[in-house]
Amino acid sequence: MATLRELKDRIKAVGNIKRITKTMQMIATAKFQAAVRRATDTKPYTEQIAQLVGDLAAAADSGDTISHPLLEKPEVSPKRELVLIITSNRGLCGAYNGNLVRTAAHLLNDGTGVERAIQIVGKKGIAWCRFNGYGVEIAHDFGDQPTYDEVNGLATEYIARYTAGRYDAVRVVYMKFISNARQVPEVMTLLPAEPPVADQGQADAGANALYEFSPSPELLLRSLLPITVKTRLFQAFNDAVVSEQVSRMVAMKAATDNASDMGKGLTRQFNRARQAQITTELNEVISGAEALN
């Protein structure tokens, strides 16, 4: 059985841990709120670009197939793909990184025999690749708040490599943010891009409205498709940041609650041990007084 001094030390240690986890929970909450605001601010732009591309696709000649280098695979397949894995720089965020690397491992070991060049965002992903023997081509460091300019440069490089025929596909493994209670690891095929398709409501609206495009819808689509690829990648980074912070917030709250429960249990144990010690001391005093009589 632990002594009173040992119990005091344990109670003090648990209290220190509780203060640390509570502080980390508050920091993660503040970062989560800021990340949600950033993701919310950029979402209308991303949706509007997608809607504009859909409108242009509906306005283009329906009998012609839209042709663009970003929509087509290389003429000569290099049998090689690029995989970007977005992880966190720090831990203490629950199963966030574990779910990501498991999804990445399933992709890398799918048995298709395709060679894959791996690029990593986040120190946790780098450590995982080293531990499992995966070679990392490039490790990116965008910090806690990737800017559009940084992601734009990365997407531009991917577009240039893909159009040069160096890869069959460019895929992104990231944590998709759905709600505060649900984040899902996802493999997004960034390139080749999906052909733009307007929904029936947009097509009907376009049929009743008269628009005059200059230049033609086909030329506008060729200009907007690279922007669509860049905004999709930026949205993936925003989702990853929001998911990381909400996972850390939940993990630190659980750790704080566990520390509180452990502190209460140790305090009860300390009180029982202290009461037993006092009772023993009283018995000794009473026994000594009776012996003197």
The tens digit of pLDDT for each residue in 86-133 reads 999 998 998 999 999 999 999 999 888 889 999 999 999 999 999 999
pTM of the model: 0.82
pLDDT for 194 beyond 80: no
pLDDT at 58: 67
Q: Is residue 9, in this structure, part of any structural domain at all?
A: no
Residue 209, both tokens: 């409205």
Region 27-45: mean pLDDT is: 86
Q: Is residue 147, in this structure, part of any structural domain at all?
A: yes
Q: Is residue 212, in this structure, part of any structural domain at all?
A: yes
Please answer whether residues 173 and 104 qualify as being in contact, where contact means their C-beta atoms are separated by less than 8 angstroms. yes
C-alpha–C-alpha distance, residues 217 and 65, integer Å = 13
pLDDT at 39: 82
Under the banding of pLDDT at 50, 70 and 90, the label for residue 4 is confident
Show the domain range for 127.
Answer: 30-249
Q: Is residue 275, in this structure, part of any structural domain at all?
A: no
C-alpha–C-alpha distance, residues 105 and 187, integer Å = 11
Question: Across 39-43, 149-153, 192-196, which has the greatest mean pLDDT?
Answer: 149-153
Under the banding of pLDDT at 50, 70 and 90, the label for residue 207 is very low
Q: Is residue 199, in this structure, part of any structural domain at all?
A: yes
Q: Is residue 192, in this structure, part of any structural domain at all?
A: yes
What are the φ and ψ backbone dihedral angles of 279, each rounded to 5 degrees? -60, -40
Please answer whether residues 87 and 119 qualify as being in contact, where contact means their C-beta atoms are separated by less than 8 angstroms. no
Domains in the chain, number: 1
Region 3-8: mean pLDDT is: 88
pLDDT for 200 beyond 80: no
Mention every residue, 6+ apart, whose C-beta is less than 8 A from residue 242.
32, 35, 36, 39, 177
C-alpha–C-alpha distance, residues 197 and 200, integer Å = 9
Q: Is residue 20, in this structure, part of any structural domain at all?
A: no
Q: Is residue 115, in this structure, part of any structural domain at all?
A: yes
Question: Across 48-57, 109-118, 122-131, 273-282, which has the greatest mean pLDDT?
Answer: 122-131
CATH of the domain at 71: 3.40.1380.10
